[in-house]
Structure 1
Amino acid sequence: MEINDSFPEEQFFAISNSEVPWFPDITNFLAANIIPQGLTHQKKKCFFNDVKNYFWDDPFLFRRCANQVIRRCIIGSEISKLVEHCHSRPTGGHYSGTKTAHKILESGFYWPSLFKDSIRYVTLCDKCQRTGNICKCDEMPENYMLSCEIFNVWGIDFMGPFPSSFGNKYILAAVDYMSKWVEAQALPTNDARVVERFLKKLFSRFQTPRAIISDRGTHFCSTQFEKTLKK
């Protein structure tokens, strides 16, 4: 049969609009040992020095970076989606261009203009431009987690003075850090003597705790209070 050399126009259109990646010379050399034409001696030397960091695993090209981490090389059509995912999506956080670029590197991807494209995307992000820079006041407080068992650590403090009610002007409250159990008592004064009485009732019901946390007021930092804790 006679060979049909005609091609549909759709195939010509697909070929003419196909994207050319940034690494055809590297892939041609690694896959078929084809050296790019028209390179000067200096450019050819740089090309052979750079191609040592790449290896071809059909259909992807990988680069071995300076920290010996292997990352997949990305073509142009995938760059915008990847930067958007690492910056604007819920896992991104709308960080700066440099931090977004580091998130992309941690995800295992690479292309030569990675940092430049990430910074350009952040400058065009509408939400980032409206919000401005993220400062310390926007960060969540990082508090140490206290590992303890129930009724082992108590927080104690005075509230008041309040208007006198049956001769009482202050409220001494103690909160267990584990169960959030609250013990409170109305008292006429806020000295170390009433604190000692309150603690003796507390210890007799819930045993002696490992630690008591206070604001180090004079009614909590006294010799009488320390003797009670030693007992």
Structure 2
Amino acid sequence: MLRIPHRDLDISQQSTKSWLLLAHYEARCMFLGEQVREMLKTHQPVEPLSVMLSPCPFSQWGMDIVGPFPLALGQKKFLLVAIDYFTKWVEAEPLARITEAKVMKFIWKNIICHFGLPQELISDNDRQFQSRRIQD
């Protein structure tokens, strides 16, 4: 892998430091080569990926809570995000605390009042999304 030029030179002519550096670089190249080979292996998903289709704009929304982030103005450290599956339109609001009431207000103000009642809201079933009022 590593070829040393001037192989016909006597070892005594080379300094010990040079040989140590060459040995170090050779070991490093071999290590990096192994790392690259490992990264290039193709990793297959556990199950085949599927496309989420929505019949029309603003009928199917995905919601999630992102954070905590470093504190912002108003002690806000979470982000409540909703994305329309058809248009990829994003609605987001920073919040200090995530509660059922704040999630309900976000859905009403940012989705229902602007785009109408969606056919489906998809979430990761976090406790703020599990209330009976939100599911109805």
Q: TM-score range by the shorter chain?
A: 0.5 to 0.7
Aligned in 2, Cα 1:147/1:206: closer, same or farther, shift over 3 Å?
closer
Q: Which has the higher contact order (CA 8 A, sep 6+)?
A: 2
In structure 2, distance between residues paired with 1:142 and 1:170: 29
Alignment match, 2:91: 183
Aligned-pair CA distance for 1:192:
1.0
Aligned-pair CA distance for 1:164:
1.2
Which structure has the larger Rg over C-alpha atoms? 1
Give the number of equivalent residue pairs: 93
Residues 1:200 and 2:108 aligned together? yes
Alignment match, 2:64: 157
**Structure 1 residues 52-104: Cα deviation after superposition (integer angstroms, max 9, x where no partner):** xxxxxxxxxxxxxxxxxxxxxxxxxxxxxxxxxxxxxxxxxxxxxxxxxxxxx
Unaligned ranges ≥5, structure 2: 1-41
Aligned in 2, Cα 1:164/1:137: closer, same or farther, shift over 3 Å?
same
**Structure 1 residues 113-161: Cα deviation after superposition (integer angstroms, max 9, x where no partner):** xxxxxxxxxxxxxxxxxxxxxx982899331542420000000000001
In structure 1, distance between residues paired with 2:108 and 2:129: 14
TM-score for the superposition, normalised by structure 2: 0.61
- Over the aligned positions, Cα root-mean-square deviation in angstroms equals 2.4
1:4-153 equivalences under 5 Å are: 137=44, 141-153=48-60
Contact 2:103 2:128 in 1 (8 A): yes
1:217-228 equivalences under 5 Å are: 217-226=126-135
TM-score for the superposition, normalised by structure 1: 0.37
Unaligned ranges ≥5, structure 1: 1-134
Amino acid at match of 1:206: F
In structure 2, distance between residues paired with 1:175 and 1:193: 20
Alignment match, 2:82: 174
